[in-house]
């Protein structure tokens, strides 16, 4: 049994025995990454959070609201990186927010970035929270680090209905300005667009325009998918947020990747409009894990929509042979 610590949010400390998970492209179009979740569970509590369907400590959080903090994780990562011959960028974090409130107490995010940067390894951070000054300062030291700011809507009141924590809309745009002015490659993720709730095209176009003015260089978009195990709960949440139940059930009809996705008839005009807006504003564009079934085959959509070197905007560097940087990655 672990002792529950109540502030800044209920959490337990677990002595970490892990480092990172290697993520290969596989059936997806993703660039390879070393995935790191310094925490399991996320107090931002987005209603659609895909991690809520995960097992282990994630399931514990779903049950009791207690975040797991992995003490000493940064040291394991430092050691793990030293033992690799080919080092892909570290992604912080695929299934939890690196800047949720417990990070203010433990700063695992900053410690992990520091370990990575000390070994010339790129860090690719994704957050709906407020980037700390220390994190930005560390990322700025390593050329090629990526700062991703996820924003769903320009309407602050609506944002608050979709999640419990996270940064305000103003703080998110401020993240974009701070990252860019520090020289960090800056991405705005509209990930996901939520049908019937955040899919007003004027809002989304305006957000891309404002993100560009704030310094964003690349946009990533997805439409909300629903993991199979979360389907009924998400439909109930959508209905509570005012989305007609019949509309939602008819819209969600494309099954792949263990999830149900909005029909292609819905996604295509959305992606067409947003990619055109990104182009108008001088930003490169990509989708995240979006596919369409054609003649019984799953076809990745970045082949059609991505206007950058990779889905994350830049040619992704890897480190080979203990520290010798190669700029032409085999990932392309
Ligand atoms: S910020 Fe990310 S990890 Fe946290 S609840 Fe929202 S979707 Fe999940």
Average pLDDT over residues 23-28: 61
Residue nearest to atom 7 of ligand 1 (CA): 49
Average pLDDT over residues 316-327: 48
**Under 8 Å between Cβ of 32 and 20:** no
* Percent of the chain surpassing pLDDT 70: 93
In DSSP terms, which residues pair with 184 in a beta bridge? none
CB atoms inside a 10 Å sphere around CB 122: 26
33 lines ligand 1 (CB under 6 A): no
Q: Is the pLDDT of residue 16 over 50?
A: yes
Query: Quick check: bond before 220 cis, omega within 30?
Result: no
pLDDT in tens, 162-215: 999 899 999 999 999 999 999 999 999 999 999 999 999 999 999 999 999 999
Gap from CA of 132 to ligand 1 centroid (Å): 18
* Percent of the chain surpassing pLDDT 90: 82
Q: Is the pLDDT of residue 326 over 50?
A: no
| pLDDT of the residue at 279 | 98
pLDDT in tens, 236-286: 999 999 999 999 999 999 998 889 999 999 999 999 999 999 999 999 999
Which of 128, 190, 194, 230 maximizes ligand 1 atoms within 8 Å of its Cβ, making it the mutation to test the pocket? 128
**Under 8 Å between Cβ of 108 and 96:** no
Give the residue carrying structure tokens 């992995």: 70
Residue 90 three-state SS:
strand
Residue 254 three-state SS:
strand
Gap from CA of 85 to ligand 1 centroid (Å): 32
| pLDDT of the residue at 285 | 97
Question: How many contiguous H segments (helices) and E segments (strands) does the chain have?
Answer: 12, 19
The better pLDDT of the pair 91, 296 is held by 91
191 lines ligand 1 (CB under 6 A): no
Q: Give the list of residues 6+ apart from residue 90 with CB closer than 8 angstroms, or none.
A: 20, 33, 34, 35, 36, 77, 112, 116, 121, 122, 123, 124
Question: Which atom of ligand 1 lies nearest, measured to the CA of 166?
Answer: 1
Confidence of residue 310 (pLDDT cuts 50, 70, 90): confident
Which one, of 100, 118, 89, lies nearest residue 22 by Cα?
89
Question: Which atom of ligand 1 lies nearest, measured to the CA of 128?
Answer: 1
Looking at every residue in the chain, the average pLDDT score rounds to: 91
Q: Is the pLDDT of residue 318 over 70?
A: no
Q: Is the pLDDT of residue 32 over 90?
A: no
Residue 21 three-state SS:
strand
Average pLDDT over residues 70-76: 94
| pLDDT of the residue at 309 | 87
| pLDDT of the residue at 257 | 83
Gap from CA of 40 to ligand 1 centroid (Å): 11
Question: Which atom of ligand 1 lies nearest, measured to the CA of 95?
Answer: 3
146 lines ligand 1 (CB under 6 A): no
| pLDDT of the residue at 17 | 80
75 lines ligand 1 (CB under 6 A): no
Does the pTM of the predicted model rise above 0.95?
A: no
pLDDT in tens, 97-154: 999 999 999 999 999 999 999 999 999 999 999 999 999 999 999 999 999 999 999 9
DSSP 96: S
Q: Does domain 11-221 have CATH number 3.20.20.70?
A: yes
Residue 276 three-state SS:
helix
Q: Where are the domains of the chain?
A: 11-221
Task: Flag the least confident range among 7-21, 24-38, 304-318.
Answer: 24-38
Question: Which atom of ligand 1 lies nearest, measured to the CA of 93?
Answer: 3
Residue nearest to atom 6 of ligand 1 (CA): 46
**Under 8 Å between Cβ of 8 and 104:** yes
Average pLDDT over residues 220-245: 96
Enter the tokens of residue 237: 């949440």
């Amino acid at each position: 049994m672990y002792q529950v610590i109540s502030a800044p949010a209920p959490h337990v400390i677990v002595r970490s025995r892990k480092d990172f998970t290697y993520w290969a492209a596989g059936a997806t179009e993703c660039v390879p990454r070393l995935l790191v979740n310094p925490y399991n569970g996320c107090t931002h509590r987005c209603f659609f959070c895909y991690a809520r369907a995960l097992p282990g400590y994630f399931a514990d959080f779903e049950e009791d609201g207690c975040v797991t903090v992995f003490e000493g994780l940064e040291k394991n990562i430092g050691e793990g990186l030293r033992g690799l011959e080919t080092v892909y960028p570290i992604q912080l974090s695929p299934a939890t927010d690196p800047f949720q409130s417990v990070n203010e107490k433990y700063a695992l995010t900053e410690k992990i970035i520091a370990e990575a940067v000390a070994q010339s390894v790129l860090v690719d951070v994704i957050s709906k929270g407020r980037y700390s000054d220390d994190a930005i300062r560390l990322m700025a030291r390593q050329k090629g680090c990526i700062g991703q700011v996820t924003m769903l809507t320009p309407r602050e009141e609506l944002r608050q209905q979709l999640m419990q924590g996270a940064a305000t809309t103003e703080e998110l745009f401020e993240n974009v300005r701070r990252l860019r002015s520090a020289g960090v490659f800056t991405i705005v993720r509209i990930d996901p667009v939520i049908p019937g709730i955040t899919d007003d095209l004027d809002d989304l176009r305006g957000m891309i325009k404002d993100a560009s003015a704030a310094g964003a260089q690349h946009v990533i978009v997805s439409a909300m998918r629903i993991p199979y195990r979360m389907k009924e709960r998400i439909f109930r949440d959508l209905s509570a947020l005012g989305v007609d139940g019949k509309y939602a059930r008819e819209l969600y009809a494309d099954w792949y990747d263990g999830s149900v996705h909005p029909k292609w008839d819905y996604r295509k005009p959305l992606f067409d409009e947003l990619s055109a807006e990104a182009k108008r504003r001088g930003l490169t564009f990509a989708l995240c894990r979006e596919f369409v079934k054609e003649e019984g085959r799953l076809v990745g959509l970045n082949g059609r929509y991505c206007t950058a070197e990779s889905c994350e905007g830049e040619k992704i560097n890897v480190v080979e042979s203990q520290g010798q940087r190669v700029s032409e990655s085999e990932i392309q």
